[in-house]
Structure 1
Amino acid sequence: MAVAILLLLSGTTFYRMVEGWSWLDSLYFSVMLISTVGLGDLYPVTEFGKIFTVFYIFVGVGVFVALFAQFARALVIGPRKDAPPDPDNLKE
């Protein structure tokens, strides 16, 4: 989860600084790009922005697929067997 948040923050900051977009537009574009929605209303115009976007898509999609796979696994399988017991549910 921390990696996904860091990825969104880094993409947002990059587009804010390099493309000159607002913080909201930069975050919006980062989320749209990683979620593969790609509405086309925003797009990088600088060469550096285009190159960064290519790598950002590959890394971002990979991170979010892994994150969603972990969530799905937790929903289907349940908590891990080797997880420590919840202290609130311990019987004395």
Structure 2
Amino acid sequence: MGFCVKFVFHTLIEFLKDKHYRSLLGASIGILFGGALVYHYLEGWSYLDSLYFAAITLSTVGYGDFSPQTDLGKLFTIIYIGIGVGLILAFINAVYKHFQQVSREYPNVIKGKKKQ
């Protein structure tokens, strides 16, 4: 395997060993799929369309091809953005910090040295 592939694989394994990171990942996935279920029932969209809209909303891309039509769907979206974007940003920040830490330690990992 190339250096980059080994580094990415090592980073992912180390990331998933940490309970805090796993919790953030689980919460991010949960809010994504939870939002999709709410949109499915409130707006009557297919599961795929609901998941697509939830992902686009949380990524703040907002293509505009879907939007909630019901008042309850619009109200949910306001709350969903506030909570969801904050959670996704916390997850991205955790990944970034972990990546920085591992990239500082990785040369020692390659040589078989332990963290001190």
Q: Given the two structures, how large is their TM-score scaled by the length of structure 2?
A: 0.67
Q: Indicate whether 1:55 and 2:89 are aligned.
A: no
Secondary structure of the 2:75 match is helix
Identity among equivalent pairs (%): 40
Code of the residue aligned with 2:57 in structure 1: it is: L
Code of the residue aligned with 1:68 in structure 2: it is: I
Question: Structure 1 residue runs of 4+, over 3 Å off?
Answer: none
- 2:53 paired residue among 9, 21, 29: 29
| Corresponding position of 1:6 | 30
Higher helix residue share: 2
Aligned residues: 81
- TM superposition shift of 1:78: 2.3
Code of the residue aligned with 1:57 in structure 2: it is: I
- 1:20 paired residue among 44, 58, 72: 44
Secondary structure of the 1:54 match is helix
- TM superposition shift of 1:9: 1.3
Q: Given the two structures, how large is their TM-score scaled by the length of structure 1?
A: 0.83
| Corresponding position of 2:91 | 67
Unaligned runs of 5+ in 1: 80-89
| Corresponding position of 1:44 | 68
